[in-house]
Structures are given as C-alpha cells and as structure tokens.
Structure 1
Amino acid sequence: MRKIVLQMMTTPNGRLDDPLAWMGTVVEDQYRAIDRLYAGYDTVLVGRTTYEEMVGYWPGALDDQENGETNRVMARRMRDYRKIVFSRTPTEAISPWHNVERAVLEDDAALSRYLIDLKARPGGDIHLSGGVSLAQSVVGLGLVDRYHFFVYPVFSPGEPWFARLGQTEALRLTGSESYDNGVVGLHYETVSDGTPARPTTFSELIA
C-alpha cells in the first residue's frame, strides 16, 4: 500500500504556518536531502492557497539558472507530479497547471474515505503538503505513515502541527542528520502496534 508522507519545514516548538516569519535559508546539502526524499513521491496533496503559491513559483523555476540544478530538478518534479488540490468550496477556481485536479470534500469523514482509497491504488508515495488546515486534518485522522521534519533553530509562536491529534501516536526514528545552516532533519515512521501505554508512576519512565 502507498504511504502518505508529511514532509515539512518546522521549528522546535512545532510551528506550521507563515514560514516567512521564521524560516531561514535552504542550503545545498539540505536541498539535496529534500530532493532525495521527493524522488519517492508521485502525488502531492495540497490545499488551495498553498497550491496557488506553488503555481506562482515553480513553472518559472524550470529555466531559472540562478538557483542551481537542484532547484530545477525540483521544479520538474513539481510539474510532473499528480497534484490534488483540496477544497470545501466548489465555486473557488484554481490556476491551471500540468497534471492538476481538484477534490472537493465537505468534511473530514469524506477526506478520510478519499485518502484511504487513494493509498490503496497503485503508485509511489504521497506527499502531504500544506496548508495548515489540510495538514492538520490528515494528521488528526491518523493517516500519515511517515514524517520528515526539517527543524530550523528558532522558536516562533504560531499554529502547531498536532493541535488536532485525537490521541498519542507512537513514532519510530528512522534517521537524522544536520546541515550547514543548523537545520536538523528528523525522519520517523508510525508504529503500527498502537498507542503506547501511559505509565502510572514516574519511576516507570526511568526503568
């Protein structure tokens, strides 16, 4: 079965929204690591507002010589991926782009059914992109299989990732690395054997 993968920049306190308020540069070794992860995807899940930001940048980046080959490779990936734009308002138009489609879903129950069906179909892994509402909804539904966080060394107030999580979710660390700009990459997969048991005393935590 295909995996839904949340891959995002964030802060140590888990900020999700308004990246221009806290996000620093993306250095080359970090960008190459991001691109290696993107090579495993063939589908992107994105909200309408974030999609419009994507289509405003990536088509022009295909021939941009200033930002380097890694950025042009990413631009080609963004062009070729199947892009599913989620909305709850069918009358809102989206800008045209290659290989894009809309999914108008009225509530989280419909979103859950849609994504479970999508995961069961053939294909590569599925990248869960922004915006805030879509990412939080999918996380809260327990449908994310892997997490790739690129954690910037700054605390910043704002919308956190896991505000809509219904219960504790156990993760297994699968890898980590640091980059020249001080960013740390943390890579997790969900643990399939359920929610960890809550300890009854502090001594159980250090046993």
Structure 2
Amino acid sequence: MTRKLVITENITLDGVIENDGSWFDPTNDSDQGRQLAETTRAHAAESDGFLVGRTTFEEMREFWPRQVSDTTGVTDHLNRVEKYVVSRSIDDPRWDGTTVLRGGDQLEAEISELKKREGADIVLTGSISLAQQLLGLGMVDELRLFVYPVVTGSGRRLFTPDHDIRDFALAESRSIENVVLARYTR
C-alpha cells in the first residue's frame, strides 16, 4: 500500500491560502481555535511525514521549535514526524529529522519514492508553489481545506486555472463554528 500525499490548507472563500495575518492564526486560543487544533491533531495522528517548501520550512523552523507552551500540538507533531523540505539552496536543514529534497526535474521521482516507503500519510501545508506543482503533477491524494468565511480580494491561491481537480470527491464536510472543513479524496 502506498502512502497518501495530503494537502492541508487554510483557505478563504475566494480561494486565497496566503495568510496576511488578518484571517488565520494557528495559535488562536479561542473555542474555535481549540476545536480546530483538536481536528488538526486527529489528522496529524494519521501522518508520519511532513512536506514543505523552503520558505515555509524556514518560517516554521524559526517558530515551532521555540514554542514551550504549545496547546495546539503542532510542536509535538513536528518533533515526531520526518520532515521533508524541497529546496535547492538548503544543505544543512538545522532541524532534527529533516531530509532535503532537491525538487525541480527530480520532484516527481522524489515524491513517488516517498509515497512508496512504508509509513503513514505525508502532509503538505503552506508551501503554495510546491502544492501547486504537486497538484499539477497529479500526485495529491487528498485535500483538507479549512474554509474561513473571509474574502480577501487578493493573495496567492491554491488552485490555478490549469489544475483539473474533477477526479476529487467530497469525503467529509463539517463546520467548526464558522469554519468549514471540506475534505476531498481521489
């Protein structure tokens, strides 16, 4: 059995996943934030691989390992799983449990090899360009979209006009207060 590659993104109603800091906070300690964290922890328990691009990796490497009172569970999860960063410029990731993938022309082969290995899901979050590339290559097995009732009017989007996602079917839809989790599988 091959591992699934899952894209998990927070997304606005108009399809933006780029967070300008005004509509999504992963450390939100409200009732909704705690419910979202609980859902994220449940999803994280199904994975043992975390895939990101260089920019997201560097942002996360500087933030999550420094969290000492993390109630979201993200720090514990990232310390537990194998991390894969796609980068042509990183040689020393400076984060235990990280493997550097070179991407480019090798991306499809590298991800195929990861999916063939024994293990649980590999989850990609953030990493807009990488997510778009993997969607374009048809390598994504599941989409988990946390849809926020926000319209930003601008920002980078997950889907481009050339992405054909018609072979994804809705597997789950539920609300977490005013956020909707829409989960699609191939």
Report the TM-score, using the length of structure 1 for normalisation: 0.79
Aligned equivalents of 1:167, 1:179: Cα separation in 2: 28
Query: Which position in structure 1 is the counterpart of 2:9?
Result: 8
Is 1:154 paired with 2:150? Answer: yes
Question: Offset at 1:57?
Answer: 1.5
Gaps of 5+ in 2: none
Question: How many residue pairs align between the two structures?
Answer: 179
SS state of the match for residue 167, structure 1?
A: coil
Report the structure number with the largest CA radius of gyration: 1
Structure 2 counterpart of 1:132:
128
Aligned to 1:83: 83
**Corresponding residue number in structure 1 for 2:59:** 53
The offset of 1:23, in angstroms, is 2.1
Structure 1: which 5+ runs fail to align?
191-207
**2: distance between equivalents of 1:183 and 1:56?**
27
Cα distance in 1 for residues equivalent to 2:46 and 2:163: 29
Q: Identify the match of residue 111 of structure 1 among 107, 113, 130.
A: 107
Quote the offset at 1:93 in angstroms. Answer: 4.9
SS in 2 for 1:155: coil
CA contact (8 A) 2:135 2:163 kept: no
Residues 130-162 of structure 1: CA distance to partner in whole angstroms, max 9, x if unpaired?
211111111111111011110110011211111
Q: CA deviation at 1:17?
A: 1.6
| Distance in structure 2 (CA, Å) of the matches to 1:74 and 1:9 | 15
The amino acid of 1:187's aligned partner reads R
Alignment of 1:1-207 (within 5 A): 1-23=2-24, 25=28, 27-61=33-67, 63-64=68-69, 67-68=70-71, 71=72, 73-87=73-87, 89-90=88-89, 92-93=90-91, 95-107=93-105, 110-156=106-152, 157-163=154-160, 165-180=162-177, 182-190=178-186
TM-score, length of structure 2 as denominator length: 0.88
- Over the aligned positions, Cα root-mean-square deviation in angstroms equals 1.8
Q: Decide whether the 8 Å contact of 2:93 with 2:100 is kept in 1.
A: no
